[in-house]
Structure 1
């Protein structure tokens, strides 16, 4: 009975988020409160459990990076980058989108995808304003590109870190097995952008000419603050890349970087807290509690074990089911607790089956990472972009994002499935 009620509460909250009958933050908090009132979640499981509680590493990673971005905004560097990008693209909107998408995807392979969209989004608003282009298509494309690019490496997406910890796969393993298909996916995605967002590519010759006459160097307002901020940011990014050596979680690195920047610059709290997306952080907290409730009553675990019982040691079938089921579930529940629950099951299925067994891990990574593009709440980067867009006066509705995601996700997952079949079963 409790399991049924927990599922009902989750579905009800998700419907409220999807239909936007109430604000998504209120819907997430309503869902979290329902889990508490039903007795599924208590303080221990909501705040302290690594399996069912709020993922504080995500919350504090976002907080630290938002503070760093707030300080960077004061320097004028985003205006500089916006003018530079627009001039390199000669004011042509599609060329600007391609440039931003590629930058986002490559950066997401080295950083986590949430950090990347936090850095790229301010540039997007400025360049779109300069070119009189609608920013929403660019923001949606960047969120999706961050999820695609983050799939390529161990540090690019949190589920990959979980998979590496459980499977023993290295950074080079991820790069060797996933980077090739990600390059193909990125090319296909750029082609999809040309079709899906074609109405946004209105070329304005006068705006383009005005942009070409600008001097981006004049946009820098505080050179000293810029040098300090970029130095701190560089150290933070280096620590992200050296995660396996330093053994420091990204959240700790982000908070240390934000603290160091604040201490060195001696800025007032209003200067570095004004740009923090507090509603986004609260939404994540509520969403984690909701999903944790499903994990605690065994719904996600039951689905995983049913999968294991159904496919047995038929690795081609197992890989196909894992990639598609992971994509479908990651579209509606956060992929971090999902992958954490599935990892031991995949470990049992893969066993000592060599390359074909290893294909199950790549199927889990591809499905969980790419499936998040299907809906507005399927991936952390999507939620952050929606929060930034709303804060800047360009709200993106759940369905406005999802109508594009329901095209991009199936196409990219289908290509990934074909890659798995060819590389690990047909041509192995």
Structure 2
């Protein structure tokens, strides 16, 4: 009975998030409160459990990077980059979109996708305002590009870090197995961008002419703070890449970087805390508690175990189910708790197959499905939620369904292409 009530409460909260009848943060907190009332959630399970509680690594990674971005914003760097990007694109709306999505995808491979969208979103909104074009299509395209690009490396998307830890996989393993796929997917994605937005983006010649006359160097307001910010940001990014060798979690790296920049800049707390997306952080907390409740009552485990029992040792079938089921599940719940739940089951399947190449391919199936499936809905990946929060805060609101109607197309097409790549690489030509 309790399990049924938990599922009903989860579905009801998700419907509220999807329909936006109330703010998504209020919906997530209401859902979390319902789980507490049902007796599924305790302080121990919500705040301290790695399996069913709030993922504080994600929360503090976001908080640290939000503080760093808030301080960088004060230097005028984003205005500089906005004018620079608009001038390099010649003011052409779709050419600008291609430039931004490619840069976002590449940056997401070197960083994590959440950090990337935190850095790119402010630039995008500024350049769109300069050119008089709607920011929503650019922001949606960028967050999808970040999820695609982040698939290619160990640090590019948070679920990949979980998969690497469980599977004993290295940074090079991800590059060899997934980077070629991501290059192919970006070509496909740019084509989808043209079909979805390219022919409808407005162009204003008078605004373009005005932008082309601007000197981007004049946008820098505080060169001293800019130098300090870039030094700290460079150290943080290097530490992200080397976090395994340094034995530092990315969340700790982000917090250390934020603390160092706060101390070095000597800014007052209101000056760097006012840009933090507190509602987004609280939304994640509520969402983690809700998903953790499904884990607590065994709903996700039951579904996952039924799938693994059905496929047995047929690894192409298992990989196919993993790719599509992970894509579906990651569109419904955030892909971080989903991967945390699925990875022990995939580890059992790989071990049962003697760690053969075809058995090991199940890790790539899980990564492909969960990373790309995160594009399906507005709450499918951390980067999606962050961008929607930043957009709303800056006067460019993106609704759940505005994002999702494009996300479903992109997720379906990219997962289908990825399945062909997966089947050909690991089974047809193995």
Fold conserved (TM > 0.5)? yes
Please name the residue that 1:60 is paired with: 60
C-alpha separation between the residues in 2 aligned to 1:216 and 1:198?
26
Q: Distance in 1 between matches of 2:117 and 2:143?
A: 7
Cα distance in 1 between the residues matched to 2:276 and 2:344: 36
1:97 counterpart SS class: helix
Please tell me whether residue 372 in structure 1 is matched to residue 374 in structure 2.
yes
Secondary structure (helix, strand or coil) at the match of 1:53 reads: coil
Q: Does 2:429 match 1:427?
A: yes
Within 2, Cα distance between the matches of 1:59 and 1:197?
33
Q: Unmatched 5+ residue regions in structure 2?
A: none
1:276 paired residue number: 276
Counterpart of 2:79 in structure 1 is 79
Counting matched residue pairs gives: 428
Q: Distance in 2 between matches of 1:353 and 1:318?
A: 15
Over residues 156-177 of structure 1, what are the superposed CA-to-partner deviations in whole Å (9 max), with x where a residue is unaligned?
A: 1111111111111111010000
Matching of residues 375-394 of structure 1 within 5 Å: 375-394=377-396
Task: Provide, for residues 324-383 of structure 1, a one-character-per-residue CA deviation record: whole Å limited to 9, x for no partner.
Answer: 000000101121121112112111212215111111110000000000100000000000
- Check if 1:134 corresponds to 2:134: yes
**1:271 Cα shift?**
0.9
Could you tell me how far apart the structure 2 residues matched to 1:158 and 1:327 are?
15
Q: Which moved more, 1:196-205 or 1:68-77?
A: 196-205
Matched residue, 1:322: 322
Instruction: Determine if the alignment matches structure 1 residue 48 to structure 2 residue 55.
Output: no
Counterpart CA distance in 2 for 1:277 and 1:170 is: 33
Could you report, residue by residue, the CA deviation over 1:214-246 in whole angstroms, capped at 9, with x for unpaired residues? Answer: 110111011000000000011011100101111
Partner of 1:196: 196
Equivalence map 1:342-353=2 (5 Å): 342-351=342-351, 352-353=354-355
Q: Take 1:315 and 1:412, find their aligned partners in 2: how far apart are those partners?
A: 21
Answer yes or no: is the 8 Å Cα contact 1:137–1:200 preserved in 2: no
With normalisation by structure 1, the TM-score equals: 0.99
The residue correspondences of 1:411-426 to structure 2 (distance < 5 A) are 411-426=413-428
1:406 corresponding residue in structure 2: 408
Q: Deviations over 1:68-118 (max 9, x none)?
A: 111111100000000000010000011111111011111111111111000
| Aligned ranges 1:32-181 → 2 under 5 Å | 32-181=32-181
**Residues 16-46 of structure 1: CA deviation (Å, up to 9, x unaligned):** 0011111111100000000000011110000
Q: State the Cα distance separating 1:210 from its structure 2 match.
A: 1.1
Partner of 2:336: 336
**2:399 counterpart of 1:397:** yes
Tell whether the 8 Å contact from 1:52 to 1:293 is kept in structure 2 after alignment.
Answer: yes
**1:123 Cα deviation from its structure 2 partner:** 0.1
**In structure 1, how many angstroms separate the alpha carbons of the residues matched to 2:110 and 2:243?**
11
- Distance (whole Å) between structure 2 residues aligned to residue 222 and residue 426 of structure 1: 57
How far the C-alpha of 1:145 sits from its partner, in A, is 0.6
Residue 241 (structure 1) aligned with residue 241 (structure 2): yes
Q: Partners of 2:370 and 2:340 in 1: how far apart?
A: 11
Name the residue aligned to 1:6: 6
Equivalent-residue separation in structure 1 for 2:194 and 2:177 (angstroms): 28
Give the C-alpha shift of residue 198 in structure 1. Answer: 3.0
> 2:291 corresponds to which residue?
291
**Where do residues 14-25 of structure 1 align in structure 2 (5 Å cutoff)?**
14-25=14-25
Deviation of residue 207 (structure 1)?
Answer: 1.2
Q: Which runs of 5+ in 1 are unaligned?
A: none
Q: How far apart in 1 are the matches of 2:320 and 2:306?
A: 15
Residue 276 of structure 1 aligns to a residue whose secondary structure is: coil
Give the whole-Å Cα distance in 2 for the aligned partners of 1:311 and 1:81.
50
> CA RMSD for the aligned pairs?
0.8
Structure 1 segments, 4+ long, off by >4 Å, are: none
Q: Find the aligned partners of 1:25 and 1:200 in 2 and give their Cα distance.
A: 32
TM-score by length of 2: 0.98
Q: Which deviations, in whole Å up to 9, do the C-alpha atoms of 1:269-305 show, x marking residues without a partner? A: 1110110001101101000000000011111111111
Tell me by how many angstroms 1:200 deviates: 4.6
3-state DSSP of counterpart to 1:197: helix
The CA deviation at 1:208 is 1.2
1 CA distance for matches of 2:350 and 2:26?
Answer: 41
